[in-house]
Amino acid sequence: MKAVQMTAPGSADEVLQPVDIPAPEITRPGQIRVQLRAAGVNPIDTKLRSRGIFYPDGLPAILGCDGAGIVTDTGSEVTGLRPGDAVWFCHGGLGGAPGNYAEFTVLEQAVACRMPASLDFTAAAALPLVAITAWEALFDRAGLGDGQTVLIHAGAGGVGHVAIQLARSVGARVATTVSTAAKAEFVRELGAEKIIDYRRQDITAQIMDWTGGRGVDVVLDTVGGETFRQSLSAARVYGHVVTLLDPGTDVVWKTARDRNLSIAFTLMLTPMLQDLPDARHHQGEILQRCAQLVETGQLTPHVMSTLPLEEVARAHRAIEEGHVQGKIVLQMP
């Protein structure tokens, strides 16, 4: 099969190499084999490529956590899925189990879900990682609900544009940060009520004006660094701040302590990295819930561009340069 392998940590053009290797085979009774039609590209892919994978002995490695395709074979204990079914999933791509920059993959049935009928493979491959991340952050960690306010940083990004839609689906009011007029229009169409140009406006001042000096109930930080520090002063007393990134060692926690903030982290890859079957099952349930929102028109992935598999280095460069609005998806040969 055709695939793209990471040969070593380094630049995209140097270490992402097209190869022709044997297709994987089913080795356990609960597995399925999928012919991939599309694979989403995420920032974690670029970080692993540049810094190194989680399993150093796993090189060369196939990156790419998000996939969508057709079931071609099933193990003897698989129920509920059969050859010909269209599925989507987040699996592999961290240096252990092979990822989805390839024509075929093998995974446990429990990890895969039937695709929403209204999505094509390209759109389906754009959603799993970002949808699970946003869901865990907003609902599992912060308990966001009807009538509450939420600040979502980088609302035009992969996680951000999905988080806006998930928040609106439960009746929350959304503020978000952007960097361009085009991104502002994009998030407005998604349902954001308060849009802040973080390059020109003070985020905390804008949030306090929007909430009458109270602060938001929930902040979702998808950026880290200084953005996390500003998030602490934008949340209300007894509010929630959820971050996807390491806030660093120079955070002054007095604001968080004085405001009695609940600080939480979300890394949706933890169940895969630590082999937590129950948590992976829960993530499958999240995908099923997201499929329902897709079918009712409450959740739509935005695919900025599609590229052939062999041009994955272009996708990595675009993400690293900050030029992506929504997602980039690879299409298989």
Asked whether the predicted pLDDT for residue 317 surpasses 90, the reply is yes
Position 322 confidence tier, pLDDT thresholds 50, 70, 90: confident
Specify the pLDDT at position 38.
98
Q: Is the model's pLDDT at 9 over the cut of 90? A: yes
CATH 3.90.180.10: which residues of the chain?
2-127+274-331
- CATH 3.40.50.720, the chain: domain bounds: 129-265
Please compute Rg for the chain using Cα positions. 20
What is the dihedral angle through the alpha carbons of 289, 294, 299, 303, rounded to the nearest 10 degrees? 120
Place of tokens 């997602």: 327
How far from 59 is each of 12, 63, 294, 312, CA to CA, in Å?
15, 10, 36, 18
CA count, 13 A, side-chain hemisphere, 262: 14
Return the bridge partners of 327, or none. 303
pLDDT, position 323: 78
pLDDT digits (tens, 9 = 90+) for 249-284: 889 899 999 999 999 999 999 999 999 999 999 999
Q: 219: which 2 tokens?
A: 């902040």
Question: Using CA atoms, how far apart are residues 320 and 315, in angstroms rounded to an integer?
Answer: 9
**Dihedral sign, CA of 197, 202, 203, 206?**
negative
Superfamily of domain 129-265: NAD(P)-binding Rossmann-like Domain (3.40.50.720)
> Average pLDDT of the chain?
96
Res 119 pLDDT > 90 = yes
232 secondary structure, DSSP code: H
Scored b (16 or more CB within 10 A) or e, 31-65 reads bbbbbbbbbbbbbbbbebbeebbeeeebebbbbbb
Q: In this structure, are residues 197 and 172 in contact, taking their beta carbons and an 8 Å threshold?
A: no
Mean pLDDT of 317-328: 91
Burial 131-144 (b: 16+ CB within 10 A, else e): bbbbbbbbbbbbeb
Which among 198, 151, 142 has a CA at the least distance from the CA of 176? Answer: 151
Q: Please, are residues 18 and 4 in contact by the beta-carbon 8 Å criterion?
A: yes
How confident is the model over 46-73, as pLDDT tens digits? 999 999 999 989 999 999 999 999 999 9
Q: Which fold has domain 2-127+274-331?
A: Quinone Oxidoreductase; Chain A, domain 1 (3.90.180)
* Residue that the structure tokens 């003897």 belong to: 76
Tell me the one-letter amino acid at 110.
A
Q: What is the DSSP string of 207-264?
A: HHHHTTTS-EEEEEESS-THHHHHHHHHEEEEEEEEESS---S---THHHHHTT-EEE
Query: Is pLDDT above 90 for 91?
Result: yes
- Alpha carbon distance 287, 285 (integer Å): 5
Q: How confident is residue 32, by pLDDT bands cut at 50, 70 and 90?
A: very high
CA distance 143 to 55: 33
State yes or no: pLDDT of 6 exceeds 90: yes
pLDDT at 330: 98
Cα 130 to Cα 118, 134, 214, 242: the distances in Å are: 19, 6, 29, 15
DSSP 15-82: HEEEEE-PPP---STTEEEEEEEEEEE-HHHHHHHHH--SSGGG-SB---SEEEEEEEEE-TT--S--
Distance CA 239, CA 223 (A): 19
